[in-house]
Amino acid sequence: MEADFHRVELENGMTVLVERRQQPLFSCVLAVRAGAAHEPLAEKGVAHYLEHCLFQGTETRSSEELSAAVEKKGGTLNGFTAEELTAFWLRLPSQHLELGLELLGDMLFHSTLEPERLEKEKKVVLEEVKMVHDHPRSHVLGRIKSLLYEKPFGMEVLGTPSTVRRLSRESLLRFREKYARPVLSVVGRVDPEEVVELARRYLPFPPRPEPEARVVRREGGRTERRRELRQAHLALGFHTPTLGDRRRYALYSFLAVLAEGASSRLFQEIRDRRGLAYEVSAHLNLGRSYGYAALYAGTEPGKVREVKELMLSEVRKMEGLGRGELEEAKEQLIGQYRLMTENSYRVALSLVYEELAGSAEEFYRYEQRISELRLEEVRELGRLRDYSYFLLLPG
């Protein structure tokens, strides 16, 4: 069944995306094209800190009242920061569409950013930075990025304790001036014309040029030690096609065969046949100006070299991928896509990312793109040339 999809470009540069459905609810994602990739080195983490602080109260609502306005209607309100965007999202029953968009506008245009609340929220953000650092798997997956890209892009989205501590109210106000070319994505039982009207009324973003991201690729390796650990944690990183590159569909199939699920080649070779790791997984991060994948495993310190060589070997073996295995991967990916489309939030978010990459309509071409993949396109990704590694060891 074809989606009831609508796309409207407003006078101020905002894009409104609407997929109309029959369920009496809606999911909404409002994204601005300013994220961690647009931060100066000295203010790394400001995008994420600002996202937190916009929930801390407006001229007419306290932080508690912002949350209650959605939760008392049965909904959810939240946000996240990525490399090339900052997003705010909510889910509500359909009759509360106006309330949802008015709330987003209140947060974005009428936040008071009171100094006392900002300092309290800074402590929360610093705890989040510590939490990621203290979780070995999250830490190595974050650090592999620093070996694939130069600073400041190669640094963590959250920033570092030192950069976050230096952030001020003025830092937040400066970064908010970068909020440009927003995308509003709404999926559910809504009237597209009403969404456009409410967007004009409550989301009056001034027209601004999109900020530029400086992304410089590199390769490298690093080992870090911690006394409290007993297990070694290894990540291998590879540059990949970007979100706007059609080769990403071959990448999805490549990773499905290599490292997705208990039936994947890496899981079977490293965990099932050799018992070298409890978790073996792949992690993909794609944007308009970058793309990278990381393979992760936790193993005994004495088995690190063997696990690393097995990972590299299995990647290279993908050059010999057979047609049958590719067809299975295609069926797997198309099945996952169809199941994902039941989730209105995930569809709204996917539409945002596709719009960021060039065209939201590309989301609806996924099955066609996967079906049309040729074997050689996927095999090509196994011709490994360069990679980076990060190893976290006990001691």
pLDDT tens figures, 343-356: 999 999 999 999 99
Q: Sign of the C-alpha dihedral, residues 246, 251, 252, 253?
A: positive
CB-based contacts of 174, cutoff 8 Å, min separation 6: none
Q: Which residue has the tokens 């990647």?
A: 315
Identify the pLDDT of residue 385. Answer: 82
Is residue 335 a part of any domain in this protein?
A: yes
pLDDT in tens, 147-187: 999 999 999 999 999 999 999 999 999 999 999 999 999 99
Do 48 and 155 share a domain, yes or no? yes
In the chain, % of residues over pLDDT 70: 100
Is residue 301 a part of any domain in this protein?
A: yes
pLDDT in tens, 301-317: 999 999 999 999 999 99
Is residue 215 a part of any domain in this protein?
A: no
Is residue 209 a part of any domain in this protein?
A: no
Do 132 and 243 share a domain, yes or no? no
Do 243 and 164 share a domain, yes or no? no
Do 241 and 105 share a domain, yes or no? no
The mean pLDDT value for 57-63 works out to 97
Do 275 and 316 share a domain, yes or no? yes
**Total count of residues recorded for the chain:** 395
Q: How confident is the model at residue 384 (pLDDT cuts 50, 70, 90)?
A: confident
Distances (CA, A) of 56 to 91, 124, 243, 324, 357: 19, 12, 33, 53, 31
Instruction: Compute the radius of gyration of the chain from its Cα atoms.
Output: 22
Do 242 and 157 share a domain, yes or no? no
Q: Are 104 and 202 in contact (CB under 8 A)?
A: yes
Region of 123 on the Ramachandran plot (φ > 0 left; ψ -120 to 50 alpha; else beta): alpha
Q: Say if residue 95's pLDDT is above 70.
A: yes
Is residue 210 a part of any domain in this protein?
A: no
Distances (CA, A) of 146 to 235, 238, 287, 357: 12, 12, 16, 23
Is residue 216 a part of any domain in this protein?
A: no
Of 167, 202, 237, the one marking the end of a domain is 202
Do 32 and 180 share a domain, yes or no? yes
Of 202, 231, 259, the one marking the end of a domain is 202
Do 80 and 138 share a domain, yes or no? yes
Cβ-based neighbour number of residue 209 at 10 Å: 10
Q: Say if residue 66's pLDDT is above 90.
A: yes
Q: Are 251 and 369 in contact (CB under 8 A)?
A: no
Identify the pLDDT of residue 395. Answer: 87
- 353-374 burial, b at 16+ Cβ within 10 Å, e below that, comes to bbbbbeebebbbebeeebeebe
CA 391 to the chain's CA centroid? 23
What's the whole-number average pLDDT of the chain?
Answer: 97
- Asked if the bond preceding 152 is cis, omega within 30° of 0, the reply is yes
Q: Are 168 and 46 in contact (CB under 8 A)?
A: no
Is residue 208 a part of any domain in this protein?
A: no
Of 202, 229, 262, the one marking the end of a domain is 202
Identify the pLDDT of residue 103. Answer: 98
Do 28 and 129 share a domain, yes or no? yes
Q: Are 115 and 169 in contact (CB under 8 A)?
A: yes
Do 186 and 296 share a domain, yes or no? no
What letter would DSSP give residue 377?
H
Where in the sequence is the domain holding 69, given as residue range(s)?
Answer: 4-202
Do 74 and 195 share a domain, yes or no? yes
Is residue 148 a part of any domain in this protein?
A: yes
pTM of the model as a whole:
0.96
Domain count, the chain: 2
Do 291 and 352 share a domain, yes or no? yes
Cβ-based neighbour number of residue 161 at 10 Å: 14
Cβ-based neighbour number of residue 189 at 10 Å: 16
The mean pLDDT value for 73-82 works out to 98
Of 281, 319, 339, 346, give the one whose Cα is nearest residue 144.
281
Q: Are 110 and 59 in contact (CB under 8 A)?
A: yes
pLDDT in tens, 212-237: 999 999 999 999 999 999 999 999 99
> CATH no. for residue 58?
3.30.830.10
Q: Are 204 and 280 in contact (CB under 8 A)?
A: no
